[in-house]
Amino acid sequence: MSARQYKAIGSKAHRKDGLAKVTGTEQYAPDVSVPRAWFGRVLRSPHAHARIVSVDTSGAEAMGAVCLTFADVPKIKYNERIVSTPPHLYRDRYVLADKARHVGEAIAAVAAPTEALAEKALRAIKVEYEVLPAIMSADDALKAGAPSVHETVRLQDKEIPIERNVAVSRLVEVGDVEKGFSESDAIIEREFSTSPMYHAQMETKSVVCKPAADGSITVWASTQSIHNTRQLLAEIYGLPLHKVNVKRVALGGSFGSSIQMNSVTPICVGLAIKSRRPVKIVTTREEDMYDHCRYQTHIRLKLGYRKDGSLVAGHMTATVEIGAHNIQAYPFLGVIAGFWVSLYKLPSMKYEGRAIYTNRTPSCAMQGFGAPQATFVTEVMMDEIAELLERDPVDYKLEQYRGLGDTFWGHGPTVKSVILSDGVPELLKIGAEKIGWAGRPRPGSQHGRLRRGIGMARGFHCSGVGHPKATGAEMIDYSGAIVKVNEDGSIDYIQSLMDHGGGTNEAIARIVAEEIGVPLSKVGISTVDTGTTVYDVTTHATRGVFAGGAAAHKAARTVKAKILEYAGRVLDVMKESLVIEPSEELGQGVIYCPSYPERRMTLGELAKYLQINSWGTIAAVESLRQVTAPPAYVTYFVEVEVDTQTGHVRTLGAALGSDCGTVINPGLAAGQLVGGLSKGAGFALVEDHQWNPKTGELTSKGFWVDCKTPSILESPVLERLHTDFAHTYEPTGPFGAKGVGEAALNPAIAAYANAIHNALGIRFREVPITPEKILSALAAANEAPKVAEAELVAK
């Protein structure tokens, strides 16, 4: 079916949640109000590393507050993120800390009838600390004799020791790397660093917990997975799952910061259980900044290649600083390897990765989950090789990339798929034309204050983490959905999948409408919770439409089959002869037989007929695991202007291309690309998370200067901002669709780095590329004779 034949897919329509959002009536976790609720506050460590000698809550309790300390919580170690399977799930935290491991770590909590009293009671708690030496960098953590952030962590049913603060390591090898290097005509080796930037999502972490007389609890929380939150709360507090109900509320952005059950959630539950009344906690922006950040990486890559440019061998070492807790370091190390080797054909490779504990803010997933870092390193290196070979980077990369028919790893060595759809050639051609690639300057050829440059990069993100192996997965990946026909012919789409704000549920509603054959207006996105839905792992890994949408598509197909079977009996025709088409005039799906057009009825008439005659309700519940994770390719062409007096970089134009298969909602998909450019520009140019090396306190606390995020004023003018979609069809996706979300960011920092090189003739391999770094590099270039940045190691 071509896109022109679709009715709901690809059409223009108002978002179903649009009116609530623009009028401010949409309910987020901070908006939830429960009668008799008390307010909770969390006491956090002022020290980066300290033993907790004593906690005195008597002053707070004298005010009537209920207090929670380490003595009150279950002594169960857990990991906030339970997407990883048990053999790869490292547990190293309690509800409240047994030892302070970073500034901002939760030590105690209070609940009181008013926010003012809760804050007053919090300040009355007295904590005695024994301050310990703090580790603020991976280099310090690895030194002999360095203090341990964690002595042991729990893996499955055992406590395992942590040596020299290495939380976990991974080694991946394919082929004979040393032989490959010996057969190479040239070798290039470079080092790269990326920053631990803050997610800067609009909503800070919030939670409300309402206990009931029967021991059950109802929870409203900022989360990307209501079912995983439910399971963790049940495990920690020893409750059966049927006594934990987590409600889905709108999520005010996440970028991965709520892929886990946020640390404040079980604290709130503990306060509610102890006080026997509802409790609400809304964290401040500063608390949120101490709660999570992107993984900081230090990567060295060595590539061997032949005179024709074909890669022969590669060796990558990656050191990842994970902060005070291991949320998902094992899979993160795997995805760096996977994204690296899946970008270009590489016969032999060796990858060594290690994740290091420090006394800093814990790192967790952030848009791209290792892909932006791996893409930055690889795309800048490939751009440099093309320059050394005097090749056009676009032509060179087209020759070497993994494309249609190739096997790629995606999220790591256990997630392998064959590429069945590939829009890279089309997108590179379109992007090059729109940005004016053919007219770009030679690197380093410009003089004067303002210098322009054009850079390109390409990359991808997997659509989920599905793979064909039956067992041995590192990550869980399946979705469930319920589709039900109401008595008026409208459809209830019921799924626990979380929408981060980008319109995932809206897109899936279109898939349901398209499959059944009803107007989009007839499909409702139901208000749901864990008690009314089946399991969905989480909205991450760009899997929303591809995996979650596929589960809903499966349920819709089952429902459609039942509709046709019942309608065949009522209309006295064979079910195989019937079709369903949406009628905007009737506002219904119409069922009819083309050979006997008079034999027709609306879906509402059929549903009512079934009710009156007690034939039953048409509904289906389905679960689905995708067995592939197709690459959602994205291409970037960016034009920048560099002010050599201030070091400021201005984005003049951008041509962004997405291969997401069938485009379910073009407007929102384009919005994903533009949003990816904004976040990518921040990652490339300004955003950083910095701590005082002595105290462990954040020095980057404000959005305007210290923790700057790009605004709409820093985007290209509309006339110079292009978004395009490849004409591809992914055979394993719902109606040919695959992902777009995280992929929209992944090539951004490499494109900016290559554009700045094109403008100045200087390579930057550490991001953010701040004005200070640019001015320093320019000064160094003027002080010394110009030498080639990339030396060939000739054979």
pLDDT (tens digit, 9 = 90+) per residue, 476-486? Answer: 999 999 999 99
Residue 705: the pLDDT is 60
Q: Is the pLDDT of residue 4 over 60?
A: no
Query: Which is more confidently placed, 295 or 702?
Result: 295
pLDDT band at 2 (very low <50, low <70, confident <90, very high): very low
- What number is the average pLDDT over the span 318-338? 95
Residue 502: the pLDDT is 87
Residue 468: the pLDDT is 85
Q: Residues with Cβ < 8 Å from 780, sequence gap 6 or more?
A: none
- What number is the average pLDDT over the span 227-253? 97
| Calpha distance 37→35 (Å, rounded) | 5
Q: Please, what is the Cα angle at 464 between 461 and 467, to 5 degrees?
A: 110
The DSSP bridge partners found for residue 458 are 635
Tokens of residue 457, six digits: 């990069």
- What number is the average pLDDT over the span 515-543? 95
- What number is the average pLDDT over the span 316-321? 98
Q: How many H-runs (helices) and E-runs (strands) does the chain carry?
A: 18, 31
Please report, to the nearest 10 degrees, the dihedral formed by the alpha carbons of residues 666, 672, 675, 676 taken in order.
-130
- What number is the average pLDDT over the span 694-718? 80
Q: Please, what is the Cα angle at 564 between 562 and 565, to 5 degrees?
A: 65
Q: In this structure, are residues 452 and 446 in contact, taking their beta carbons and an 8 Å threshold? A: yes
Residue 706: the pLDDT is 64
Phi, psi (5° rounding) for residue 635?
Answer: -115, 145
pLDDT (tens digit, 9 = 90+) per residue, 347-376? Answer: 999 999 999 999 999 999 999 999 999 999
Q: Is the pLDDT of residue 125 over 90?
A: yes
Amino acid at 735: F
Q: Please, what is the Cα angle at 549 between 543 and 551, to 5 degrees?
A: 105
CA torsion sign for 714, 452, 637, 761 is negative
| Calpha distance 147→140 (Å, rounded) | 9
Residue 709: the pLDDT is 83
Alpha carbon 742 to chain centroid, angstroms: 6
Residue 452: the pLDDT is 97
Residue 292: strand, helix, or coil: coil
Cβ neighbour number for residue 579 with a 10 Å cutoff = 12
Phi, psi (5° rounding) for residue 245?
Answer: -120, 120
| Calpha distance 9→307 (Å, rounded) | 47
Phi, psi (5° rounding) for residue 167?
Answer: -70, -40
Residue 242: strand, helix, or coil: helix
Residue 1: the pLDDT is 39
Tokens of residue 19, six digits: 């009116």
SS3 annotation, 712-726: HHHCCCHHHEEEEEC
Exposure on the CB side of residue 513, measured as CA atoms within 13 A: 28
| Calpha distance 661→455 (Å, rounded) | 25
Residue 473: the pLDDT is 84
pLDDT (tens digit, 9 = 90+) per residue, 536-549? Answer: 999 998 999 999 99
Q: Residues with Cβ < 8 Å from 788, sequence gap 6 or more?
A: none
CA torsion sign for 416, 421, 424, 427 is negative
Q: Is the pLDDT of residue 715 over 90?
A: no
Cβ neighbour number for residue 304 with a 10 Å cutoff = 25
- What number is the average pLDDT over the span 130-141? 96
pLDDT band at 5 (very low <50, low <70, confident <90, very high): confident
pLDDT band at 584 (very low <50, low <70, confident <90, very high): confident
| Calpha distance 96→602 (Å, rounded) | 57
- What number is the average pLDDT over the span 377-400? 98
Peptide bond before residue 768 is cis, with ω within 30 degrees of 0: yes
Q: Is the pLDDT of residue 704 over 80?
A: no
| Calpha distance 130→125 (Å, rounded) | 17
Rg of the chain (C-alpha set):
27
Q: Is the pLDDT of residue 500 over 70?
A: yes
pLDDT (tens digit, 9 = 90+) per residue, 763-785? Answer: 999 999 999 999 999 999 984 43
Amino acid at 673: L
pLDDT band at 702 (very low <50, low <70, confident <90, very high): confident
Average pLDDT, the chain: 94
Alpha carbon 254 to chain centroid, angstroms: 8
Share of the chain above pLDDT 70, in %: 97
Please report, to the nearest 10 degrees, the dihedral formed by the alpha carbons of residues 685, 689, 693, 697 taken in order.
150
Residue 501: the pLDDT is 87
- H or E stretch including 381? helix 371-388
Sheet holding 126-131, edge to edge: 99-100, 50-56, 126-131
CA torsion sign for 525, 527, 533, 536 is positive
**Beta strand ranges found along 90-197 (DSSP E):** 90-91, 99-100, 106-112, 126-131, 152-155, 158-161, 166-174, 186-194
Q: In this structure, are residues 635 and 653 in contact, taking their beta carbons and an 8 Å threshold? A: no
| Calpha distance 414→477 (Å, rounded) | 13
Which whole-number Å values give the CA distances from 750 to 302, 364, 454, 712, 713, in the listed order? 17, 22, 12, 21, 22
| Calpha distance 603→362 (Å, rounded) | 52
**What pTM does this model have?**
0.94
pLDDT band at 749 (very low <50, low <70, confident <90, very high): very high
Locus of tokens 């929670």: 68
- What number is the average pLDDT over the span 691-695? 93
* β-strands 217-221, 244-247 pairing: parallel
| Calpha distance 616→612 (Å, rounded) | 9
CA torsion sign for 379, 385, 388, 391 is negative
Q: Is the pLDDT of residue 788 over 50?
A: no
Residue 717: the pLDDT is 82
pLDDT (tens digit, 9 = 90+) per residue, 484-495? Answer: 999 999 999 999
Q: How far apart are the first and last CA of the chain?
A: 54
Tokens of residue 388, six digits: 């050394």
* β-strands 279-282, 38-44 pairing: parallel
| Calpha distance 277→145 (Å, rounded) | 48
Locus of tokens 């042991």: 152
